[in-house]
Amino acid sequence: MRRTCAALALAWTLVPAAALAQDANTVVEQAMKAAGSAGLTSVTYSGLAANANFGQSRTISFGLASTSIRSYARTIDFMQPASRATGATLPPAPRGGPPPQPGIFDQAIGPANPAWAQQMQIWATPWGFLRGAAARNATVRSRKIDGVSYRVVTWSPDQKAPSGQPYRLNGYINDSNMVERVETWVEHPIFGDMHVEFLYSNYQDFGGLKVPMRMAQRQQGMETFVASINAAQANPPNLTQLMTAPPGVTPAAGRGGAPQPPAVVASEKLAEGVYRITGGYVALAVEFKDFVVVLEGGQSEARGLAILAETKRLIPTKRIRYVVNTHPHFDHASGLGPFAAEGITILTDDNNKYFLTQALSSPRTLVGDSLAKSGKKPKVEGVIEKMVIKDDTRSIELHHVDDLEHSDGMLIAYLPKERILFSADFNVPAPGQPVSPSIATLIENIERLQLDFDTHVLVHAPNPDRRMTKADLLALAKGGQ
């Protein structure tokens, strides 16, 4: 009798799941029919677009600067799957800087780029989403947003996150059977499970295929891409040509490609207890009487771990108390996770404190990194104009950089005893390239703060790498190298 009841209970639990799958199939079939995408294997569309400077803008969150993409065109081959987008770019004009120069946008995503951070750009399109849902065990539920009812279809791709967890897409289908919104989550070294949304509106008919005239993408709630579409074609006959880069152009891969092997970590002694760590973004390890301070956490988790390991090798008997984040651009904050995982306090400009605290505290179920495994919350302190770290042996001054177009949350570090200045993104240009206007801003701040130094340590080492001085910096300002 017990076995019979258990079998009946199991049967009843399976019925709703089967019904949901059947309902999802029906919803997807209706949406594909409404969109005219039942026989769609490829699509091309064009118009105007803009790409926000996500993670690199003057203000790190919201108010992002955007690069316009004229003659924007994108072609997707769902059979590979692969995508290619092209256009002519015009970056935003920096305040006080030279006029921006036009460029070329040519981005390719293909089978050689299997990471979900790239592939989601294909499967989160309205047609890709429905195609993926039809091929997998999709489910459906009802949800109301601002009084509007949606059928939310959910499915998972074949890829798995670094943590081993499956990715997930949710597609919001309205009462006209159109996909209005697709959301997914992707691992990110700062945001953890980064929320990515694709928004579609004002569908129009192009030869039987329904195409949204407005496409937008949001990452962590910030609009990072928008396109206004004015032409489209289903299954274009010149697909091979559209998917091929023109001669002399190397398409740029999207984010999330295969990681590059880490550079060999090395270090040099600049002064007693002060070490310059190379092999990536340059860091400085500074020994105090009872603790250590690291300047710059690096551009990735791998680099952060390498800096930690080298610092511990150089100064094995003292704990690392602080890591200084020069500014919150993603390539300078992505190595902070390993430090937070060890309970090391992050020092950053006060303009960045809230951003880094919230971002590094977000759920990290997909990342599988050291911070996720530690279960710790970051400790972040903000520097308001100036902070001095000192004891009987030495001091480090951290200063906010005023009136900098590159970032409103930039710190420079100064070691008065050793006469060392440490800075990020005030770079030595490559031969033949112009000197950045930010060099003049740095010198203005140095004069304002009355910082006198001999050695200038740059996070981005000059090429070829060499010891830099105050005289070198002043020469840069005059246009020399």
- For every residue of 238-306, DSSP letters joined together read THHHHTSPPTT--PEE-TT-PPPPPPPPEEEEEETTEEEEESSS-EEEEE-SSEEEEE---SSHHHHHH
**pLDDT by residue (tens digit) across 243-252?**
987 665 555 5
**pLDDT by residue (tens digit) across 322-362?**
999 999 999 999 999 999 999 999 999 999 999 999 999 99
**pLDDT by residue (tens digit) across 468-481?**
999 999 988 876 54
Statement: residue 7 has pLDDT above 80: no
Q: In this predicted model, which residue has the larger pLDDT, 15 or 169? A: 169
**pLDDT by residue (tens digit) across 432-443?**
778 888 999 999
The closest alpha carbon to 477, from 448, 430, 441, belongs to 441
What is the predicted pLDDT for the residue at 159? Answer: 93
Average pLDDT over residues 266-278: 97
Interatomic CA distance for residues 245 and 284, integer angstroms: 42
What is the predicted pLDDT for the residue at 434? Answer: 81
Statement: residue 2 has pLDDT above 50: no
Share of the chain above pLDDT 90, in %: 80
Q: What is the pairing mode between strands 345-349 and 319-324? A: parallel
R_g (Cα) of the chain, nearest Å: 26
Given a contact cutoff of 8 angstroms between Cβ atoms, the answer to whether 327 and 411 are in contact is yes
Statement: residue 207 has pLDDT above 50: yes
Six token digits for residue 289: 């009487």
Given a contact cutoff of 8 angstroms between Cβ atoms, the answer to whether 35 and 210 are in contact is yes
What is the predicted pLDDT for the residue at 3? Answer: 43
DSSP 8-class letter at 410: -
Statement: residue 293 has pLDDT above 50: yes
Least confident of 63-72, 142-151, 369-378, 401-410: 63-72
- CA distances 437 to 6, 403, 451, Å, are 74, 12, 20
> Bridge-partner residues for 193, per DSSP?
187
DSSP 8-class letter at 26: H
Statement: residue 401 has pLDDT above 80: yes
What is the predicted pLDDT for the residue at 97? Answer: 62
Q: Which long-range contacts (CB under 8 A, 24 or more apart) does 254-257 make?
A: 254/107, 254/108, 254/109, 254/113, 254/117, 254/118, 254/121, 255/115, 255/117, 255/118, 256/113, 256/115, 256/116, 256/117, 256/118, 256/186, 257/113, 257/115, 257/118
What is the predicted pLDDT for the residue at 6? Answer: 42
Average pLDDT over residues 421-425: 97
What is the predicted pLDDT for the residue at 259? Answer: 52
Average pLDDT over residues 204-231: 96
> Bridge-partner residues for 91, per DSSP?
none
> Bridge-partner residues for 383, per DSSP?
349
**pLDDT by residue (tens digit) across 90-129?**
887 766 666 777 888 999 999 888 899 999 999 999 999 9
Q: In this predicted model, which residue has the larger pLDDT, 122 or 8? A: 122
**pLDDT by residue (tens digit) across 133-164?**
999 999 999 999 989 999 999 999 999 999 99
Provide the pLDDT confidence category of residue 27 given band limits of 50, 70 and 90.
Answer: very high
Given a contact cutoff of 8 angstroms between Cβ atoms, the answer to whether 8 and 44 are in contact is no
What is the predicted pLDDT for the residue at 250? Answer: 59
Q: What is the pairing mode between strands 455-458 and 420-423? A: parallel
Q: What's the mean pLDDT when you consider all of the chain? A: 90
Nearby residues of 320 by Cβ (< 8 Å), 6 or more positions away: 291, 292, 293, 294, 308, 311, 312, 339, 342, 344
Domains of the chain: 36-253 (2.50.20), 266-477 (3.60.15.10)
